[in-house]
């Protein structure tokens, strides 16, 4: 009986998580287009529903009913595999991500995470690394120059930026003495990590922008010079898979930034429910992503590589050394 309840709870949580992740891109695209519109003194979508609120639904229906086109010369197996490879990892990662301690419903304590792994951080980085295969296969299988160029760029970019990203969180791990995301948040109950690790936060956030392939690092799908990059040849529902995956990664990076550096669900000053604090913080970072997108131009490819290897990597290494020395000399805060 105990086991059945526990299993049922896990299945329910996973289903709930998947539903949320699949549905969240709908409001996010609307918000993105609205913010884009108003930043450019336009109004964004206005015609479908109140202030265009139903526009994402209309777009979804359009994508679902569109012809699913596969280019004649494409590698059909890889072409079909790629969108799934791009979509699955961001969903899998959320298994290891906690959203809060627990809430009690009808007298039962329900934890707000699917699993509390002691190597959650490693798991996150390992799984998110797989996502790059979707992009590479997608670009390669389409047999199009734009797509191949886009996926080659992505390959180089993802690999270059995963290294500083991984180094940037080592300082956090040192402070919390744990790789479990839950323990990391608990360790920030009094002071958020961003106070001790500003450089780590900076490196992580910039590398996160690059991981999510958002402006100013969206070279993989640079509309101006590559058509649409690796998903140039995709249409219909497969294109939607790539879009959902992109938004899931934006969400993931925001969630990770909040958990690792901004105290997760720990609030300051205003006593709000922890879950609300968490959602508010994540929403802020998602907004920041959109805000950046419509403010900054795109970096050139060599600049992108230079930033990754010559700025972020040394910064993150220096951050580890200084954190270590300070921890040794002053002791844990």
Binding site for another protein (CB under 8 A): 35, 37-43, 46-47, 291-292, 294-296
In terms of CB distance, is 47 or 328 closer to another protein?
A: 47
Q: Least Å distance between CB 52 and another protein?
A: 12
Q: Least Å distance between CB 205 and another protein?
A: 12
Q: Distance (Å, rounded) from C-alpha 26 to C-alpha 52? A: 12
In terms of CB distance, is 108 or 295 closer to another protein?
A: 295
Beta bridge partners of 103: 110
**Distances 309 to 129, 167, 186, 225 between C-alpha atoms, Å:** 18, 12, 32, 24
DSSP 271: -
In terms of CB distance, is 35 or 81 closer to another protein?
A: 35
Residues belonging to the chain: 333
Q: Least Å distance between CB 124 and another protein?
A: 27
Burial 260-270 (b: 16+ CB within 10 A, else e): bbbbbbbbeee
In terms of CB distance, is 41 or 104 closer to another protein?
A: 41
Burial class (CB in 10 A: 0-12, 13-18, 19+), 4: exposed
Query: The tokens of 75 are what?
Result: 């590698």
Q: Least Å distance between CB 148 and another protein?
A: 32
Q: Least Å distance between CB 247 and another protein?
A: 21
Q: Least Å distance between CB 41 and another protein?
A: 5
Q: Distance (Å, rounded) from C-alpha 104 to C-alpha 120? A: 24
Beta bridge partners of 104: 109
Contacts of 130 (CB under 8 A, 6+ apart): 85, 88, 89
In terms of CB distance, is 38 or 300 closer to another protein?
A: 38
In terms of CB distance, is 3 or 47 closer to another protein?
A: 47
Q: Dihedral sign for Cα 82, 14, 290, 217, please.
A: negative
């Amino acid at each position: 009986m105990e086991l059945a309840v526990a299993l049922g709870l896990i299945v329910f949580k996973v289903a709930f998580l998947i539903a949320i992740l699949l549905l969240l891109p709908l409001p996010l695209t609307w918000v993105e287009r609205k913010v884009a519109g108003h930043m450019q003194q336009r109004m964004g979508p206005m015609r479908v529903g109140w202030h265009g609120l139903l526009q994402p639904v209309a777009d979804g229906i359009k994508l679902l009913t569109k012809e699913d086109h596969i280019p004649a010369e494409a590698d059909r197996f890889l072409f079909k595999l790629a969108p799934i490879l791009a979509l699955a990892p961001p969903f899998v990662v959320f298994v290891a991500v906690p959203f809060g301690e627990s809430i009690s419903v009808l007298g039962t304590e329900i934890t707000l995470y699917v699993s509390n792994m002691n190597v959650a951080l490693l798991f996150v980085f390992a799984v998110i690394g797989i996502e790059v295969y979707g992009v590479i296969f997608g670009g390669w299988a389409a047999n199009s120059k734009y797509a191949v160029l886009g996926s080659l760029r992505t390959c180089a970019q993802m690999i270059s930026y995963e290294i500083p990203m991984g180094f940037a969180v080592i300082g956090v791990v040192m402070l919390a003495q744990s790789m479990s995301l839950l323990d990391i948040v608990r360790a920030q109950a009094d002071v958020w990590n961003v106070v001790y690790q500003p450089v780590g936060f900076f490196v992580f956030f910039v590398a996160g922008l690059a991981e999510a392939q958002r402006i100013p690092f969206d070279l993989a799908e640079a509309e101006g010079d590559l058509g649409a990059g690796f998903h140039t040849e995709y249409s219909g529902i497969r294109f939607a898979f790539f879009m959902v995956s992109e938004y899931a990664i934006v969400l993931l990076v925001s969630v990770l930034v909040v958990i690792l550096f901004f105290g997760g669900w720990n609030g300051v000053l205003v006593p709000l429910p922890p879950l609300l604090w968490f959602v508010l913080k994540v929403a802020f970072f998602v907004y920041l992503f959109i805000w950046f997108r419509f403010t900054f131009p795109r970096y050139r490819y060599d600049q992108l590589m230079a930033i990754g290897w010559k700025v972020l990597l040394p910064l993150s290494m220096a951050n580890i050394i200084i954190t270590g020395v300070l921890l040794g000399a002053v002791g844990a805060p």
